[in-house]
Amino acid sequence: MQLYKTQQLKVYNSLTSTKELFEPINEGHVGMYVCGPTVYSNVHLGNCRTFMSFDMIFRYLRHLGYKVRYVRNITDAGHLEDDADDGEDKIAKKARLEQIEPMEVVQRYTVDFHNILQKFNFLPPSIEPTATGHIIEQIEIIKDILDKGYAYEINGSVYFDVKKFNEDYEYGKLSGRKLEDMISNTRELAAQDEKKNAQDFALWKKAEPQHIMRWPSPWGDGFPGWHLECTAMSTKYLGENFDIHGGGMDLKFPHHECEIAQAEACNGHSPVKYWLHANMLTLNGKKMAKSTGNNILPDEIFTGNNNILRKAFSPSVVRFFMMQAHYTSILDLSNEALLASEKGYQRLMEAIAGLGNLKPGVTSDFDVKEWRQRCYNAMNDDFNTPILIASLFEGVKHINLIKEGKEQLTEEDKHILTQTMNSFVFDVLGLENITDAGKDSEKLSGVVELLIQLRNEARTNKDFSTSDKIRDQLAALGIQLKDSKEGTTFSVS
Ligand SMILES: [Zn+2]
């Protein structure tokens, strides 16, 4: 029997703001769509957290025995700089600045995205469609919305008529906004603006002569609006009605709100049963932003090549760190938090490595089945990974007591314990067992920190030949020291 028949999964649905029992539209099957990256720069660590949350959700649904079709798109056209209808296309801009083809930009950053996700041990989605691969489908949807009277064409562009839509449906229900409030809070449209209302959004934008990414359409050469691709691809691969739509919280409005409006305008009903939103990642208590320098790329963490953290951390440690917070909570990344996660991760891996050597006893001092159910209860409660991890550490405590001869487990219970640990740690949380590598990196850091200390002492004593020798010989080994006001850090190349 499939596990989902005995485990009652509840998910927090952003649409209703309540935790609901998860009952897929077709028993045993789950359709899940997650908004993927706009591939115009290296993948942001905050985005990695969002995608990792849905990777974990994908893994748990599969673990429960569901057949999951997981669609995560690649945005390679139509996403403008201001996330709305103005500004340059993000990819076209990068192509112009670097003097390369837009598709070179797309290729470069799609490869980067996949590389990083692979390092984090993500499972690939079932389908990874691109916006440019679905222009025809997007044009068909625009025609449909025009036919139904919820859009208008003007000067070669087509806009969604939010006011008209709101007469028959409810615009703003996902983000909890009322159209009247939005209208009274917006300034008058500028004279050159061709939209009827500021809330209207582009389904198709006319391409100016200098715009490189352009396609023919019934309204002339242009490109699709950003919100449209997700409606086109989710409908194509998951149907007019599917189970889960996910994404970062910042996409709730306007992006997801517009997706709902487009689908309802076409099909007359809501497209998604459960809307799930993952929260953001902060760095040292502050929002991550390239402009302020409070920003770090995944590879900069893995190599230690950054000015923010004291040392390098492996992808598995970073993954473990991210899993220690609930996906709907804000999570703060810092040196201390990663160090603590690294310790916890190693303790977990050591316990698992020792499971095979545990000698079975005649009786069990620990109710393994009850513990296993608690692990499931944590995940069934809207994928509560921090509670799951707390339960896993309870398992670790017992493993260690058994090792010390203070407790015992029967052969059968030992088997359940091993299987449960492996399932949750590797299959569901998606961690990889690289204890030895972790230990080596810890030893290396210890040795380099010691050399940094000796070099500082030499510098204090004005013994520059020794301090330079330490720096140069480490550099020859591929270990770079970097001095700053906060002290000396190192990176390994
Ligand atoms: Zn989307």
Domain-wise residue ranges, the chain? 3-278, 313-428, 438-492
Q: Which residues contact 318 (CB under 8 A, 6 or more apart)?
A: 120, 298, 301, 302, 338, 341
Tell me how far the alpha carbon of residue 217 lies from the centroid of ligand 1, in angstroms.
22
Rounded distance from Cα 298 to ligand 1 centre (Å): 23
208 C-alpha to ligand 1 centroid (Å): 25
Q: What percent of the chain has pLDDT over 70?
A: 97
How far is the centre of ligand 1, averaged over its atoms, from the C-alpha of 229 (Å)?
7
The predicted structure's pLDDT at residue 440: 66
pLDDT of residue 148: 98
CA of 36 to the centre of ligand 1 (A): 7
Q: 276 C-alpha vs ligand 1 centroid, how far in Å?
A: 13
Q: Is the pLDDT at 425 greater than 80, yes or no?
A: yes
Q: How far is the CA of 16 from the centre of ligand 1 (A)?
A: 20
Q: Is the pLDDT of residue 63 over 80?
A: yes
Confidence of residue 266 (pLDDT cuts 50, 70, 90): very high
Ligand 1 centroid–CA 230 distance in Å is 5
- For residue 222, which amino acid is it? G
What does CATH list as the number for 3-278?
A: 3.40.50.620
Alpha carbon of 229 to those of 72, 87, 107, 121, 202: distances in Å? 12, 18, 19, 27, 12
Ligand 1 centroid distance, CA of 258 (Å): 9
CATH superfamily of 313-428: Isoleucyl-tRNA Synthetase; Domain 1 (1.10.730.10)
Contact 108, 291 (CB under 8 A): no
pLDDT at 439 over 90: no
Q: Where are the alpha helices (DSSP H) in 148-238?
A: 162-168, 179-184, 226-238
Sorted by sequence, the CB contacts under 8 Å of residue 65 that are 6+ apart come out as 2, 3, 4, 5, 28
Distance between CA atoms of residues 105 and 464, nearest Å: 46
- Are 364 and 410 spatial neighbours (Cβ–Cβ below 8 Å)? yes
The predicted-structure confidence for 324-365, as pLDDT tens digits, reads as follows: 999 999 999 999 999 999 999 999 999 999 998 899 999 999
Rounded to the nearest integer, the mean pLDDT of the chain is 93
The rounded Å distance from CA 259 to ligand 1 centre is 7
Q: How confident is the model at residue 438 (pLDDT cuts 50, 70, 90)?
A: low
- How much distance in Å is there from the Cα of 6 to the middle of ligand 1? 33
Reference 272, options 2, 20, 43; nearest CA is: 20
C-alpha–C-alpha distance, residues 352 and 253, integer Å: 43
3-state secondary structure 298-353: HHHHHHCCCCCCCCCCCHHHHHHHHHCCCCCCCEEECHHHHHHHHHHHHHHHHHHH
Q: Is the pLDDT of residue 183 over 90?
A: no
Alpha carbon of 194 to ligand 1 centroid (Å): 25
Give 362-383 pLDDT, tens digit per residue: 999 999 999 999 999 999 999 9
The single-letter code of the amino acid at 367 is: D
Q: What is the mean pLDDT of residues 8-19?
A: 98
pLDDT of residue 187: 72
Residue type at 193 in one-letter notation: D
